[in-house]
């Protein structure tokens, strides 16, 4: 805990103390490593498409493809074989299914619900995480209900509760409110309990910042065009703030969140550390689309070693206190971990 760390005993000065002694050998570095990446810490986000046999690369996220529902079980099997415990599904909603109020969010036959059902029946042992927010379904691309230029908090809560129950009915194990409305965790928890889903977990995007690093994600799901020049600054957090993240997390815990998430990841390592130390909750980090794209783009130009930078970025998230990480690189990282043994 910051401030209460025991003070170090006096170190015998150089030349008796040489911190490089431990760094001399591969074996000694491995023995004293304080943090490690495991496949079991990773969650793979997937973009889901309508149709059959459909596979579309996302140009701003090299190595990432949008996939139709029939192609998901093969990816899920690969995750399980590599030890990745869970998937997070994001629908690419066709334009004609979007509306002002985002009603498609609680259609039991919507794309993400069909994907959840297909995966749960085929591979019940993989964890399924579903985003709770209206942006995939609204014509304006905002996460909540918009009236006269204002995102209505309390009206949105009713919609989110319906969406969460709809996801749980489809087999979603973890609902993850990512909308940043006030009071959403409590409302979602109550709705799940009343509908008989007391066992469905709630992963709160407790500290989700109004970040420019979500750009490639919005391209991938097609919400960028809907959003246009608008932003999400009246509900997502100001990147200038950290004390506010503590208040957000405290409220979500009081409303019975099972897990907290910080998003984005690398630019917000301080927030991960603060929340982990302060609350000791299971704390996730979302290594978001823009963070992934930066490394991939530089690697494509030969400016960075992409694999080494990706591993280092994810390890840094663990060092900061993250228990688990959502990352588009989950499969490649798990493969490297397996090769290294």
131 binds ligand PBG per the rule CB under 6 A: yes
| Peptide bond connecting 10 to the previous residue in cis, omega within 30 degrees of 0 | no
By annotation, the residues acting in catalysis are 208, 263
Contacts for 124 with CB less than 8 Å, ≥ 6 apart: none
Q: Is 289 in the site for ligand PBG (CB under 6 A)?
A: yes
- By beta-carbon proximity to ligand PBG, the closer residue of 237 and 281 is 237
Q: Which of 106, 217, 268, 284 binds ligand PBG (CB under 6 A)?
A: 217
User: Phi/psi of residue 284, each to 5°?
Assistant: -105, 155
Identify whether the C-beta of residue 90 lies closer than 8 Å to the C-beta of residue 50: no
Query: What is the DSSP code (8-state) at residue 231?
Result: -
Provide the minimum distance between the beta carbon of 267 and ligand PBG in the complex, in angstroms, as a whole number.
Answer: 12
- Does residue 327 bind ligand PBG (CB under 6 A)? no
Rounded to whole angstroms, how far apart are CA atoms 186 and 71?
A: 35
User: What part of residues 140-159 is at the interface with ligand PBG (CB under 6 A)?
Assistant: 143
* DSSP symbol at 61: S
Closest contact distance (angstroms) between CB of 300 and ligand PBG is 19
Residue span binding ligand PBG (CB under 6 A) among the ranges 52-60, 74-82, 129-137, 298-306: 129-137
Q: Which residues pair with 87 in a beta bridge?
A: 44, 128
Please say which residue, 59 or 124, places its beta carbon nearer to ligand PBG.
Answer: 59
Residue 76 · residue 129 · CB < 8 Å: no
Residue nearest to ligand PBG (CB): 217
Piece of 127-135, 146-154, 295-303, 311-319 that binds ligand PBG (CB under 6 A): 127-135
Among 67, 133, 167, 175, binds ligand PBG (CB under 6 A): 133
In angstroms, the CA 3 to CA 16 distance is 29
First to last CA, the chain: 33
Which positions lie near ligand PBG, rule CB under 6 A? 131, 133, 135, 143, 178, 214, 217-218, 288-289
């Amino acid at each position: 805990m910051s401030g209460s760390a025991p003070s170090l005993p006096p170190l015998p000065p150089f030349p008796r103390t040489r911190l490089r002694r431990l760094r001399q050998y591969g074996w000694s570095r491995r023995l004293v490593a304080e943090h490690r990446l495991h496949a079991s810490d990773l969650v793979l986000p997937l973009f889901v498409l309508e149709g059959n046999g459909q596979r579309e690369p996302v140009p701003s996220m090299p190595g990432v493809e949008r996939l139709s529902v029939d192609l998901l079980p093969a990816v899920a099997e690969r995750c399980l074989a590599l030890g990745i415990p869970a998937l997070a599904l994001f629908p690419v909603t066709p334009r004609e299914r979007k509306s002002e109020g985002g009603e498609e969010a609680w259609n039991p036959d919507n794309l993400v619900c069909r994907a959840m059902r297909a995966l749960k029946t085929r591979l019940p042992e993989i964890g399924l995480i579903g985003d709770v927010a209206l942006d995939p379904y609204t014509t304006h691309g905002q996460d909540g209900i918009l009236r006269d230029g204002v995102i209505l908090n309390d009206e949105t809560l009713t919609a989110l509760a319906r969406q969460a129950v709809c996801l749980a009915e489809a087999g979603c194990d973890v609902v993850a409110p990512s909308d940043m409305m006030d009071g959403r965790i409590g409302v979602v928890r109550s709705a799940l309990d009343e509908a008989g889903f007391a066992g469905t977990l709630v992963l709160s995007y407790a500290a989700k910042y109004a970040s420019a690093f979500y750009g490639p994600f919005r391209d991938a799901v097609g919400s960028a065009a809907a959003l246009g020049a608008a932003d999400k600054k009246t509900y997502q957090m100001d990147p200038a703030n950290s004390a506010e993240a503590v208040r957000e997390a405290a409220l979500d815990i009081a409303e019975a969140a099972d897990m907290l998430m910080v998003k984005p990841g690398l630019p917000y390592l301080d927030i991960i550390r603060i929340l982990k130390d302060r609350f000791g909750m299971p704390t996730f980090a979302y290594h978001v689309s823009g963070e992934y794209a930066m490394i991939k783009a530089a690697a494509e130009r030969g400016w960075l070693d992409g694999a080494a930078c990706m591993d280092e970025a994810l390890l840094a998230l663990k060092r900061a206190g993250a228990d688990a990480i959502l990352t588009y690189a989950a499969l490649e990282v798990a493969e490297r971990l397996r090769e290294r043994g």
